[in-house]
Each structure stands twice: as C-alpha cells, then as structure tokens.
C-alpha cells in the first residue's frame, strides 16, 4: 500500500506520544501532533522525518476545543484516518505519593475523568463524525494502563477507573466501527520511562518496582510505539476490540 494516511496523535508532547509520532512518521504517515500547548508539539514536529506534519493545541477535556481542532483540519482539507489517543493525566500526591480514595475529592475525580475518559470519547466522536465511508485502513487506538487491569499500585482510584472506562468504551466502539472496516483497539502500557512515571518513581528506585515484572525492567516509550505501529499496519486489519499489553509480563490475561 502506498502510504497516504494522516494520523492524529493526542498527548503528542508526552513521553509515549512523542515516540508514537516518530514511529508513525517513520512508517510514512503524515502526523497531526496535538497537545495542550503548541510550542512543545511544534518542536517535536520539526524533528520528525517525512513531510506534511502539523502541530496543534487542543484540550481534549473541552468539546469546543476538540471540535475546533477537527474543523480547522477539515478547512485545510485534512481528513484523519488514524487516531491515537495518548493524552491523559495521572495526579499524584506530595512526593509522588498515591492519592487515596479519601484524598480523592469529587473535583479531582471529575478532572481525571474529564481528560482520560470524557476526553478520549470526545476525540473519538469528532474523529467518527469526519471519517469517510470508504476510509482505507482506518484505525482508532486508545490508551489504558496496566493499572486498570491490576487495580493499580501507583495510581489513584480515579485514574485506574478512568482507564477501565477507556477499555470498555473502545470495545463498544470497535463493534460500531466494524461496518466501516475501521478497527478500534487499546494499548495498555505497564511501567514506561516517561514524565508521567517519573512523577512517582525515581530511576534509582526502579529495582523496587520491577520485582513483579517478569522482564525485570521499566519499558521504553519506543517499545509502546512499536505496538501502535503494528496496529496501524494494514496487516493488522483483523485485530479489533483488543487490548494489547506492553508491560513486560506485569499483567497476563
């Protein structure tokens, strides 16, 4: 297949988001890099191989902001056929401590759900509204977490529950999108060396946390991006509604 697909990656300034953008650009896709602030995604965009990439700011928890992003892409004749939602938040307490349920105020719960669950829905919905009936190799890839599958160790209950919502939402979406031959899958990372992990785990303490990981180490963003690359490939056309674990064996179904 001659690659002419355009991918939108949310959270593109993040640790995993950057690696995903690079992997997709290396596969020959044009990438729309979106995150809260424009400057960081512009910098990532300039470092990517290939051409036709774009940078945009979006707050995925804000419907108007999401709609504005898709409207401006449409204005420029840009139709997205691959969507990768990596944007998320995972709040921590003082010194990286887990915020327990008593410390999880209704406002904090709502904020986490607004970004991780509602935001993922809002971007998927806007994507579905603009996708064509004859899209070739359309893909939706949402991000969960081993925490949602294990009950979490390092993350607050709101984060864990919001990521469980992403898994269930994506399965239902996979059924809806099947008639269009668009797949919808989840990538579920374990401990991955990014700013999100480093808010709660210092590198010198990795050995304390990897004891339950059969591969005995923290993973790399590029190893997560490789899973996204696979799902984006035309040869992954029969994989939908699945959760692809990238966790060193931390959780096995």
Ligand X SMILES: NC(=O)c1ccc[n+]([C@@H]2O[C@H](COP(=O)([O-])OP(=O)(O)OC[C@H]3O[C@@H](n4cnc5c(N)ncnc54)[C@H](O)[C@@H]3O)[C@@H](O)[C@H]2O)c1
Identify whether 230 is a catalytic site residue.
no
Does residue 20 interact with ligand X by CB under 6 A? Answer: no
- Find the radius of gyration of the CA atoms of the chain: 17
CA distance 197 to 88: 12
Q: CA-CA distance, 86 to 37, in Å (whole number)?
A: 15
Size of the residue set binding ligand X (CB under 6 A):
30
β-bridge pairing 30-35 and 139-143: unpaired
Q: Are the CB atoms for 239 and 186 separated by under 8 Å?
A: no
Least Cβ distance, residue 162 to ligand X (angstroms): 9
User: Could you tell me the smallest distance in angstroms from the CB atom of residue 197 to ligand X?
Assistant: 4
Using CB under 6 A as the binding rule, whether residue 162 contacts ligand X is answered as no
151 lies in the site for ligand X, by CB under 6 A: no
CA distance 84 to 150: 23
| Residue with Cβ nearer ligand X (29 or 36) | 36
- Of 7, 30, 59, 118, the one binding ligand X (CB under 6 A) is 59
CB under 6 A: which stretch of 45-53, 83-91, 104-112, 172-180 binds ligand X?
A: 83-91
Q: Which of 159, 230, 238, 250 is catalytic?
A: 159
Task: Compute the distance between CA of residue 144 and CA of residue 157 in angstroms, rounded to an integer.
Answer: 14
| Closer of 191 and 244 to ligand X (Cβ) | 191
Q: Which of 44, 45, 58, 124 binds ligand X (CB under 6 A)?
A: 58
Stretch that binds ligand X, among 101-109, 124-132, 191-199, 230-238 (CB under 6 A): 191-199
In this chain, which of 78, 89, 108, 212 binds ligand X, going by CB under 6 A?
Answer: 89
Cβ proximity to ligand X: between 30 and 159 the closer is 159
Pick from 93, 103, 151, 195: which binds ligand X (CB under 6 A)? 195
CA-CA distance, 102 to 134, in Å (whole number)?
49
Q: Which residues are catalytic?
A: 159
What residues line the site for ligand X (CB under 6 A)? 10-11, 13-17, 35-36, 58-61, 86-90, 115, 119, 143, 145-146, 189, 191-192, 194-197
């Amino acid at each position: 297949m001659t690659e002419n697909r355009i991918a939108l990656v949310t959270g593109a300034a993040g640790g995993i988001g950057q690696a995903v953008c690079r992997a997709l650009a290396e596969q020959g896709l044009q990438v729309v890099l979106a995150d809260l602030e424009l400057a960081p995604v512009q910098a990532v965009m300039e470092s990517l191989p290939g051409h036709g990439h774009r940078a945009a700011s979006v707050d995925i928890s804000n419907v108007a902001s999401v709609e504005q992003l898709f409207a401006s892409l449409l204005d420029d004749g840009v139709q997205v056929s691959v969507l990768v939602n990596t944007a998320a938040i995972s709040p921590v307490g003082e010194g990286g401590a887990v915020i327990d349920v008593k410390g999880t105020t209704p406002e904090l719960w709502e904020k986490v759900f607004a970004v991780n669950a509602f935001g993922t829905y809002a971007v998927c919905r806007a994507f579905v509204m603009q996708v064509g009936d004859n899209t070739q190799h359309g893909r939706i890839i949402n991000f969960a977490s081993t925490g949602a599958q294990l009950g979490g160790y390092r993350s607050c209950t709101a984060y864990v529950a919001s990521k469980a919502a992403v898994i269930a939402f994506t399965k239902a979406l996979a059924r809806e999108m099947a008639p269009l031959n668009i797949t919808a899958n989840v990538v579920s990372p374990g401990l991955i060396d990014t700013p999100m992990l480093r808010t709660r785990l210092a590198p010198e303490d990795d050995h304390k946390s990897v004891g339950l990981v059969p591969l005995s180490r923290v993973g790399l963003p590029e190893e997560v991006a490789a899973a996204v690359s696979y799902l984006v490939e035309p040869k992954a056309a029969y994989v939908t509604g699945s959760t692809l674990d990238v966790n060193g064996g931390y959780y096995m179904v």
